[in-house]
Structure 1
Amino acid sequence: MDVVNHRIDALWHKHTSNYSQGKTIKPRFIVMHYTTGWSAENNLAWLLGRAGGSGNTESSAHILVGRDGKAWQICPFNRRAWHAGPSRLGTVADLNSHAIGIELLNPGWLKPDGHGGWVDYHGNRRSTRQLQSDGGYLLARNSRVGSGELAWPLYTDAQLDTSRQICLAIARAYPIHEIVTHEEVDTRGWKTDPGPAFPLDSFRSLVDDYGRESAQPRYKVSASRLNLRGGPATSYELVDPPGQLQQGTLVEALRHEGDWAYVQVVREGSRAQAGATVTGWVHSAYLQRQW
């Protein structure tokens, strides 16, 4: 599975009508979602918008992955689909302009219906037996929904395997910094996808060996000049050269100790770091996270 001209040909279906026409993006993140639905056919039509015959004019994604492992691409990866809504990750706002959105067919949480069964976000009811026969579920709480225990249907092995292949193909084609959840980047405080049934850590590890520019968080220096020291305290001598880092210098944080960060300079101003590697300790209060 490979990305060619911003498409995975084997998965290409048709173009959603819900995207920002005339606007291209340079993907740096992958945002994982669930559909809050049970039917691949219905969810595909919804995400396609008018192109799928639905009345949806507000949301879409780049990829939909069904429970049987079949997937559909409905937006080129360099086009701005509408999947993340109001969102922020560190200093990066509007994830739609920076991220590829992958929707996995899954209803999301179900609340107890008071009669021994469960009811989903849209009011559809399922018995415990139905949830078990559909692949099982786990019980977990989420304060964004309420204080009670919720049922979260499991993703299928086929669905996760296809999703992993897609993420790997994307990470080989673009400088993906991180795989994140919609819940993590949502600024409205009510999104919960893809939920606790999704194996997030295993997906995040996929990008380490491919497109991700760095496995470490990156920061910009916010102070006009920031002392670079030989240890995590003001008693340590400055690392000379350079002694101080200029405002805007991009660094990787290799580790933290209290209020101090051990960093490696990646770029000074607009120039990538060349020659000998520059490392040292800086006070983390003057670092602004980029991703």
Structure 2
Amino acid sequence: MKLKNKTVVSEFLLLGLTDDPELQPLIFCLFLVIYLVTILGNLLIILAVRIDSHLHTPMYFFLSSLSFTDICMSTTTIPKMLLNIQAQDQSITYTGCFTQSTCVFTFGGFESCLLAVMAYDRYVAICHPLRYQVILTPDLCILLVLLSLLLSTGHALLHSLLALQLSFCTNVEIPHFFCELAQLFKLSCSDTFINTLLIYSAANIFFGVPIAGIIFSYTKIVFSVFRMPSVGGMYKAFSTCGSHLSVVSLFYGPGFVVYLSSAITDSSTKNAVASVMYIVIPQMMNPFIYSLRNREIKMSLKHLITGKPFIFLCH
């Protein structure tokens, strides 16, 4: 059967979260605040780790890398959404759309890998405290971050390059606030079975392996903590993992819900709203989670903001 209405697509239309014009100013203000808070919060974390010599450890190096990833992820999606609302123009170029989807895959995968690396960091710190500095050397930390970025970039390019082979018809409306590959597949005139199969299979592997690594690390941590003789030692060990576990739950929880909902329901609007919970919210909340639960970060941020020196107490 021949394809009808096939044309050369130069741009797509991002329909956003709602088509109600009265809600557009509210959405604009809300996401502008979210974006500014995200950028400011993560920049403060990066500066605090950079300036404070007490935070020059593997744990905080990975945390600053996570903050950098959160800034990139938010910058990939939110500014374009705000620009479209402000200009009352829903268009995004063909190149811009695929660039955006590639960046979302890259930084999303990078964050997933970083969370697994941070779980490994906590495992070494709690289960092998005397060998912590020997195992997690600066060179290994840099290698783990670069390897995570390389793998996530390769994963993203694999899907994007295959998607570039697709042809599109006259329907160019994407019911989302950013270019999601799954939505692009629905607009294609080509057979997307291989693309869809690959994207779900690769996602299961690429995101499943970090999750398995996190579960493995915390299983070892739990067994190690319960063998500690003192309650104080157990509490201290668990408290160092609290922030990371909160970030992991905030990142993977909504993403898992979106993954299931996209497989069960075909409601694009609900999927778009749910996507906010893993594309936008975690990136804003991560700095608050670490600054509120981590004493060293709180003290460093206080020093950074007020300029007053403080005495760092090891505990």
Give the TM-score normalised by structure 2.
Answer: 0.22
Could you say which structure has the higher strand fraction? 1
Relative contact order, higher structure (CA 8 A, sep 6+):
2
